Amino acid sequence: MIKVEQLCQSFLEQQVLEQISFEVKQGEFFGIIGPNGSGKSTLLRLLSGIDPIKKGKVLLDERAAASFSRKELARWLAVLQQDALPPVGFTVREVVEMGRYPFQNWLGEDSADAEGLIETIIQRLHLEPLIDRTIERLSGGERQRVALAKVMAQQPRLLMLDEPTTFLDIGYQVQMMDYIKEWQHEAELTVVAVLHDLNLAAQYCTRLMVVHNGRMAAIGTPDEIITSGLIKEVYGTEPIVLPHPVNAAPQILLQPGK
């Protein structure tokens, strides 16, 4: 699905990413973690084709990401960001319908009958009570649910998440990740997620990659990555790591400084 080879990126002569290489297989839930400023979001922008690649390769289905047109790429890749909804004034239904843009011709006609799909998504994400509200009248959690509905309407094969739960309270965080995980299983979706919360990353991702100072510091399963030694090395604080009592996923407890 994704193959990254010797990827480097710099801005104003400052190196942001250096010699990043990894692969993501079809159907994986792949997490990218690391401290603030480590290059995580820059890496995601390169993977999704938003930014041009200066050195190295990003292959999507064995084809260079840069070779896709915007509309062509949007037919099978979607990106969900922290706050990616359009300006005020659009209703929830209008925003969800925007997800069908890659499949419309120049007259705005969809290549498929999308009305049933949109109704199913609205019901699935429990958006019926909000459907005629404009975006500015929604809470943060409601806005992210609408943003998720929009990318679901896009019917991607590959979903990229850029810290989609950062501004949400814990209830909405779990709800959002549960929706995505369920969708991933049902649609055999491949997910690449930049996540700030290490406990969420360990709960939902099948593999994790740690980016530190622009380099790949480690890659592996959550059990291999979420260890007190590696967290101390990368984040500068040594947590207590315990298995979750329900699913045994590694979870961290922070220790206050002495």
Q: Do 11 and 122 lie in a common domain?
A: no
Mean model confidence pLDDT for the chain? 90
User: Going by C-beta distance under 8 Å and a sequence separation of 6 or more, which residues neighbour residue 185?
Assistant: none
Residue 119 resides in a domain: yes
The pLDDT confidence band at residue 147, using thresholds 50, 70 and 90, is very high
Q: Do 161 and 67 lie in a common domain?
A: yes
Strands (E) across 53-125 are located at 55-60, 63-64, 77-80
Residue that finishes a domain, picked among 114, 137, 154 = 154
Instruction: Give the residue-averaged pLDDT of 59-73.
Output: 86
Give the residue numbers spanning the domain of 122. 92-154
Q: Do 57 and 102 lie in a common domain?
A: no
Whole-number pLDDT of residue 82: 75
Q: Do 27 and 123 lie in a common domain?
A: no
Q: Do 166 and 52 lie in a common domain?
A: yes
Q: Do 6 and 20 lie in a common domain?
A: yes
Residue 247 resides in a domain: no
Q: Do 59 and 121 lie in a common domain?
A: no
Whole-number pLDDT of residue 75: 84
Domain count, the chain: 2
Residue 257 resides in a domain: no
Instruction: Give the residue-averaged pLDDT of 22-51.
Output: 92
Q: Do 41 and 97 lie in a common domain?
A: no
Rounded CA-CA distance 30/25 in Å is: 9
Instruction: Give the residue-averaged pLDDT of 171-193.
Output: 94
pLDDT in tens, 85-139: 766 789 999 999 988 888 877 666 676 678 889 999 999 999 999 999 998 899 8
Q: Do 196 and 105 lie in a common domain?
A: no
Q: Do 162 and 71 lie in a common domain?
A: yes
Whole-number pLDDT of residue 108: 64
Q: Do 116 and 178 lie in a common domain?
A: no
Q: Do 34 and 144 lie in a common domain?
A: no
pTM given for the model:
0.92
Specify the CATH number for the domain of residue 170.
3.40.50.300
Rounded CA-CA distance 49/66 in Å is: 6
Tell me which residue has tokens 């109704």.
Answer: 119
Residue 235 resides in a domain: no
Instruction: Give the residue-averaged pLDDT of 41-48.
Output: 90
